[in-house]
Amino acid sequence: MKINEIFYSLQGEGYWTGTPAVFIRFSGCNLNCSFCDTEHENGRQMTIDNIISEVSKYPTQHIIFTGGEPTLQLNRELIDRLHTLGKYLHMETNGSISLSDGIDKELDWITVSPKDAPVKIQRIDELKVVYHGAEQDMTRFESIPTAGPNSRYLQPCDVKTPETNERIISDAIEYIKRHPQWRLSLQTHKLLGIR
């Protein structure tokens, strides 16, 4: 598997904000979003044994598969090996790839952050939409089914311009007040200056 990085930090976004987790960032993505904030293309080949050994250095049970797009490489063997160690397996995906051989059912949590591609994944425990401001058409996201209540998160996009970021956050707050099925997700790791 080509892995961009494995690191230990706190989950900064969404439902699991504040949870200590080991992040396994897979290299490569099937999309090319203009606002992508991860340099995921680089990476090194790691065997499943290598990955297990790296992950086992940290005390948390919570593992987050991210990317890039993890569904391009994640397989049942890695899932089974980590489950055997008692790990809680959480995947963050753009949702545009339909998972084969029931991998979606094996995972403990799936966060889908849809981009400019149809959502094909079969299970969504948490929907996290990157919000670009009041001009964004939310119709498509409103119709995506999720696993239950309190599972829809609106996350203001960080466009690196303070004034525009302020406007996007303000628009997100107003949208959520009008559509209370959504909750605000902030990138708290950026606010705190951690990874």
Choice between 40 and 87, CB closer to ligand SF4: 40
Q: How far is the CB of 53 from ligand SF4 (least distance, A)?
A: 26
- Catalytic residue chosen out of the listed positions 17, 19, 33, 108: 33
Q: Which two tokens stand for residue 114?
A: 């849809």
- Catalytic residue chosen out of the listed positions 7, 36, 142, 166: 36
Q: How far is the CB of 114 from ligand SF4 (least distance, A)?
A: 9
Choice between 38 and 56, CB closer to ligand SF4: 38
Active site includes 23? yes
Active site includes 33? yes
Residue 125 CA to chain centroid, in angstroms?
Answer: 11
CA distance 72 to 28: 8
Phi, psi (rounded to 5 degrees) for 114: -70, 145
Active site includes 188? no
Active site includes 37? yes
Q: How far is the CB of 136 from ligand SF4 (least distance, A)?
A: 15
Active site includes 38? yes
CA distance 138 to 172: 11
Active site includes 189? yes
Residues in contact with ligand SF4 by the rule CB under 6 A? 29, 31-33, 36, 38, 40, 67-69, 94, 115
CA distance 79 to 70: 12
- Catalytic residue chosen out of the listed positions 29, 40, 65, 171: 29
CA distance 57 to 90: 18
Active site includes 35? no
**Taking a C-beta distance cutoff of 8 angstroms, is the pair 73, 46 a contact?**
no
Choice between 4 and 151, CB closer to ligand SF4: 4
Going by C-beta distance under 8 Å and a sequence separation of 6 or more, which residues neighbour residue 178? none
Q: Which two tokens stand for residue 63?
A: 């593992």
Choice between 70 and 152, CB closer to ligand SF4: 70
Parallel/antiparallel/unpaired status of strands 44-45 and 62-66: unpaired
Q: Which active-site residues does the annotation give?
A: 23, 29, 33, 36-38, 92, 189
